[in-house]
Chain A
């Protein structure tokens, strides 16, 4: 019963380094999402993929890129990390496209950029 799996769980980067956060879901969901969670600000959408082969910007896309590799996998890349990207990153998926099904979240990646 894996659900949504994210790797790594923790990561420390130096400013300017790059990395890719991996996400996979085994629920055959169509839509996948990347959020960041910062204290006092709630969850903010970075990018989403409504279905395999499509990606769109969310509320805070600057400094990030994504790839929907197949229906199961959706990765988030930081090309040149900045301290402002220190956050907890959550991947999520939903069964239906659009607005009518709840999100299923992974356990998060805690990223620190020094």
Chain B
């Protein structure tokens, strides 16, 4: 059965800290790994990763995929209170419409 597991489930840090969120996946015919940020309502897209070892970066956020270890990490440097959210990781398969989501990591950044 396909699955995506995220760790930790929740995390509390102080502003300015650097955090690393983890995602491991078992997806048949794996195609891509996606990260979303969910604040109060709709998840919003952050990154799509398809190749191992190539870092994607957007401001203070970055992510990388390791296809050998079937995992990905999302790094957030110099965290701000606005980074408080649930971060969702999802895996997709080739040729299908299946996007398997993890349960998410709830991040709380204290001022």
Contact = CB atoms under 8 A, between A and B. Distances in A.
Contact of B4 (A42, A50, A58, A100): A42
A71 B31 CA distance: 26
Given A31-B97, A50-B97, A103 B103 contact: no
Interface stretch (B38-46, B59-67, B76-84): B38-46
For chain B, give the interface size range: 20 to 34
B101 to A, nearest CB: 4
Nearest to A38: B103
Interface residues of A, number: 26
Please report whether the interface of chain B is mostly helix, strand, loop or mixed according to DSSP.
strand
B84 to A, nearest CB: 18
A103 to B, nearest CB: 7
A20 B46 CA distance: 31
Contacts of B107: none
A56 B97 contact: yes
Given A40-B103, A42-B102, A99 B42 contact: no
Contact of A42 (B45, B93, B97, B103): B103
A99 B41 contact: no
Nearest to B47: A102
Interface stretch (A11-19, A62-70, A75-83, A105-113): A105-113
A48 interface: yes
A79 B88 CA distance: 30
Contact of A99 (B4, B31, B44, B101): B31
Contacts of B44: 105
A108 B43 CA distance: 10
30 contacts: A35-B101, A42-B102, A42-B104, A43-B88, A44-B101, A45-B98, A48-B97, A50-B97, A58-B98, A90-B42, A90-B43, A97-B97, A98-B95, A98-B96, A99-B32, A99-B92, A99-B95, A99-B96, A99-B98, A100-B31, A100-B32, A100-B92, A102-B36, A102-B45, A103-B36, A105-B43, A105-B44, A106-B42, A108-B41, A108-B42
Given A98-B96, A102-B48, A103-B45, 5 more contacts: A40-B9, A99-B31, A99-B96, A99-B98, A102-B45
